[in-house]
Structure 1
Amino acid sequence: MSNLQTLTDERPTKPAVMRGLRRRCPSCGEGMMFDGYLSVAKTCPVCQEELHHHRADDGPAYLTILVVGHIIGFAVHFMWVQFRPDPLVMATVLTVMAVGLSLFLLPRLKGMVVGIQWARRMHGFGGPA
C-alpha cells in the first residue's frame, strides 16, 4: 500500500464517533481505547492502531460541562415546578446527579473527541510523517 493511498483511505466519522462513545478503538471498534479512567492507551490492543497522537486536552471537559449543565438546569426547573422540595434536599439530589452524570460522560466524550481526531486524520493520526 502506497503512502498516498494510505492518506486517501476513507475514514468515516460517524462510526469513529460511535466507537469513541463506547470507549473503543476508533479504527477497529474492538479494543479498549483507555488504559484507565481517562488515560488513552498508546496503541489498540487488538488492531495495534496508534492512539497516542490524540490532543483531546480540555475539549471533553467543556463538552461534559455543557451537557451536564443543560440537564441539571432542566432538572432544577422541573423539580421546583413539580415538587417544590426543600432547597437543601434539591441541592443534594442535584449535586449527586451532576457528579454522577459527569463521571459517566467524561470518558465517553473524550473517546468521541479522539474518534473525531482519528477520522479526520488530525494531530498525526495517519497524516504525513
Structure 2
Amino acid sequence: MILPDFTRTPFDRRDRPAGPPPAQFAVPKRRDCALPETLGTAALRGLRGCCPRCGEAELFHRFLKPVSICAHCGQDWSHQRADDFPAYVAIIVTGHIMAPLIIALARDFALSVTAMMAIIVPLALVLLLGLLQPAKGAIIALQWWWGMHGFEKERIAGAAEAGDDEP
C-alpha cells in the first residue's frame, strides 16, 4: 500500500521534485564574490532579503520560500532549516513594540474597546507580517555564518568574531 505524500500541498508545482535541485541545474559556487566580514553584515544582508553570502541576488522567490541556489554566487540554500523560529522572533518583536503602545492608549486616551481594537489589531498584523520575511532572512544568514545544517563555514581571512570556536 502506497501512502500519499502529506508534505506536499496543492500549491506545490508537480513538475519538479521537492528538495535540492538536481546536479545538472546546479550553479557552480563562485569563490570570487564578496563574502561578509562580520556576522552583522551577513545578518543585515539576510534582513534585506539578499543572499547573505554575496549580497547581490534575492534570497526569496516567494514571500517565505528561499531560492534553492543563489543566482549570483551559486550558494545552495536548500540546507536551511529556519522552521518556526522566524515566527517566534517576529511575535516577540511585535509584542515588545505593541505593549507600550497598548499601555499608552489605555492610560492616556479614553477610547472604547472597539476603537482600541480598530487601532491595535491592524497595526499588530502589519508589524507581524512585515517582520516575518526579514527575520527568516536573518536566521538563514546566521545558519550559514555558523556553518549549521550542512552549510560550509566560510570566512574572509581574519574575519572570525568573538565567540566563534575556531582554532
TM over 0.5: yes
Matches within 5 A, 1:1-129: 12-126=38-152
Structure (1 or 2) with the larger CA radius of gyration: 2
Q: Give the residue type in structure 2 aligned to 1:88.
A: T
Q: Sequence identity, in percent?
A: 35
Query: CA separation in 2, counterparts of 1:12 and 1:36?
Result: 27
Task: Output the CA distance in 1 between the equivalents of 2:104 and 2:69.
Answer: 44
Q: Please, which moves more after superposition, 81-90 or 38-47?
A: 81-90
Output the amino acid matched with 1:112: A
Aligned to 1:88, the other structure's residue is in SS state: helix
- Contact kept in structure 2, 1:68 and 1:98, CA below 8 Å: yes
Corresponding residue of 2:29: none
In structure 2, C-alpha distance between the alignment counterparts of 1:43 and 1:15, rounded to whole Å: 20
The Cα of 1:68 is off from its aligned counterpart by 0.6
Secondary structure in 1 aligned to 2:138? Answer: helix
Q: Which has the higher contact order (CA 8 A, sep 6+)?
A: 1
> TM (normalized to structure 2)?
0.68
Structure 2: distance between partners of 1:66 and 1:120: 23
Contact 1:43 1:50 in 2 (8 A): yes
1:22-42 deviations in whole A, cap 9, x for unaligned?
011000111110010000100
> 1:10 & 1:70 partners in 2: Cα distance?
30
- Report deviation, 1:10: 8.5
Two-structure CA RMSD over aligned residues (Å): 1.6
Identify the structure with the greater helix proportion: 1
Q: CA offsets, 1:27-60, max 9 Å, x none?
A: 0111110010000100111111111110100100
Identify if the C-alpha distance between structure 1 residues 57 and 16 changes in structure 2 by more than 3 Å, giving closer, same or farther: same
Q: Structure 1 residue runs of 4+, over 6 Å off?
A: none
Give the letter aligned to residue 52 of structure 1: S
Distance 1:123 1:11 in 2: 21
> For 1:18, what is the secondary structure of its paired residue?
helix
Please, what TM-score do these two structures have when normalized by structure 1? 0.87
Is the Cα contact below 8 Å between 2:68 and 2:77 reproduced in 1? yes
